[in-house]
Amino acid sequence: MTPRTWAAARDRLAFPLVAAIEVRGLERRYSDEVLAVAGIDLEVSEGEIYAFLGPNGAGKTTTVRMLVTLLQPTGGTARVAGFDVVREAPSVRRSIGVALQEAALDPLMTGRELMRLQGTLHGLPSDEGRRRGDALLERVGLSLAADRRVGTYSGGMRRRLDLATALVHDPTVLFLDEPTTGLDPVSRIAIWDEVRRLNDDGTTVFLTTQYLEEADHLADRVGIIDNGKMAAEGTPGELKSQVGIAHLEVVIAAGESAKAGEILERFGVPMPARDGRLMVGLPRGAADVAPIVRALDEAGCAVEALELVQPTLDDVFVEKTGRHLEGAADQQHPEQQPAVEEPVSG
């Protein structure tokens, strides 16, 4: 068990489960033609990381904007930290931290000035605001850049600063809208590490993402949204096991494929071969691999390559919607592809 899951399990044993976010029939219609969120239900427990996964235009940002009280629902209800997002919006706002996609960071201010401003906006006394701002800059690894103008920060540094500004008033629920879109892999992992640390400290996290890997690595539970409707929900493991079983791909020396194919069939569910690779679905997963290798060896079949392939969240998405998730995102937003991060000069 990782420290994160251990901390989460411990906390859940010690305290009764409370819904940090509770959404019932939530809907947002922008016009007669556009029903962006078409009546969704979801619940996020205190201490969870919940990833809201879906392609461009699925309704993720619209949902987040309703939950953080920036947009009025046109139907249904939502409670965040125990407060209704419409009737108790100020209480919701006091309880949450928000880092949206279009972070409006003044490029002429330094990171430290921006943190002070956030502290003031949240009503912190100036001494406390300064202390808290400096501690958060340290936390997200920006102490050395604290007195540089934000306009000189790289994309990853801006995201980390944005995260720090969302934490000034110590929120219990943190909303992150596509926190790593457009970042290179190293910056992405730095954000993931910080999100995990925050969660270990007890913060509930609701994040939207187009990245399967992000949902898979970070989230306790994943909700998949497509065309404004919930397509699936569960832990990454549950969702993947709904789709099916792991399969083994084997490359056998020329001339021995037929014999090898018969052996593989004895162990699992035969699948069509692809690119010269024999495939078999394995109900018991990794436990079947060693006996298969032994059986192939005993039959004199030379194994050139062998790979156990687990079902992915994309398989889940394909099964629920008939489309690939990442392919859809890539085609629509090529400019958001991860790029090597370079500090912006100026």
What residues make contact with ligand ATP under the rule CB under 6 A? 30, 34, 36, 54, 56-62, 210
Shortest distance, CB of residue 323 to ligand ATP, whole angstroms? 14
> Which lies closer to ligand ATP via its Cβ, residue 36 or residue 301?
36
CA–CA distance, 74 with 65 (Å, rounded to integer):
13
Query: Torsion-angle region of residue 59: left (phi > 0), alpha (psi -120 to 50) or beta?
Result: left
Shortest distance, CB of residue 173 to ligand ATP, whole angstroms? 19
In the chain, the DSSP E strands lie at 19-29, 35-45, 49-53, 75-80, 83-84, 96-99, 173-177, 204-209, 221-226, 229-234, 247-252, 269-274, 277-281, 303-309
CA–CA distance, 339 with 303 (Å, rounded to integer):
38
Cβ atoms of 208 and 61 within 8 Å: the answer is yes
List beta partners, residue 110.
149
> Which lies closer to ligand ATP via its Cβ, residue 60 or residue 116?
60
CA–CA distance, 14 with 6 (Å, rounded to integer):
12
The CA distances from residue 226 to 39, 96, 237, in Å, are 12, 26, 20
> Which lies closer to ligand ATP via its Cβ, residue 233 or residue 288?
233
CA–CA distance, 154 with 40 (Å, rounded to integer):
36
- CB atoms under 10 Å from CB of 274, counted, come to 9
Shortest distance, CB of residue 246 to ligand ATP, whole angstroms? 30
> Which lies closer to ligand ATP via its Cβ, residue 57 or residue 75?
57
> Which lies closer to ligand ATP via its Cβ, residue 110 or residue 321?
321
> Which lies closer to ligand ATP via its Cβ, residue 53 or residue 115?
53
CA–CA distance, 156 with 163 (Å, rounded to integer):
11
Q: Tokens 């201010």 — which residue?
A: 109
Residue 78 is encoded by which pair of tokens? 């939502």
Shortest distance, CB of residue 57 to ligand ATP, whole angstroms? 4
The CA distances from residue 32 to 4, 29, 38, 120, 129, in Å, are 44, 7, 13, 41, 46
> Which lies closer to ligand ATP via its Cβ, residue 225 or residue 263?
225
Report, in angstroms and rounded to the nearest whole number, the Rg of the chain calculated over CA atoms. Answer: 24
Shortest distance, CB of residue 181 to ligand ATP, whole angstroms? 8
Shortest distance, CB of residue 207 to ligand ATP, whole angstroms? 12
Shortest distance, CB of residue 213 to ligand ATP, whole angstroms? 16
> Which lies closer to ligand ATP via its Cβ, residue 150 or residue 224?
224
> Which lies closer to ligand ATP via its Cβ, residue 37 or residue 145?
37
Shortest distance, CB of residue 215 to ligand ATP, whole angstroms? 13
Shortest distance, CB of residue 333 to ligand ATP, whole angstroms? 7
- CB atoms under 10 Å from CB of 7, counted, come to 17
Cβ atoms of 37 and 62 within 8 Å: the answer is yes
For 286, which DSSP code?
G
Length of the chain equals 346
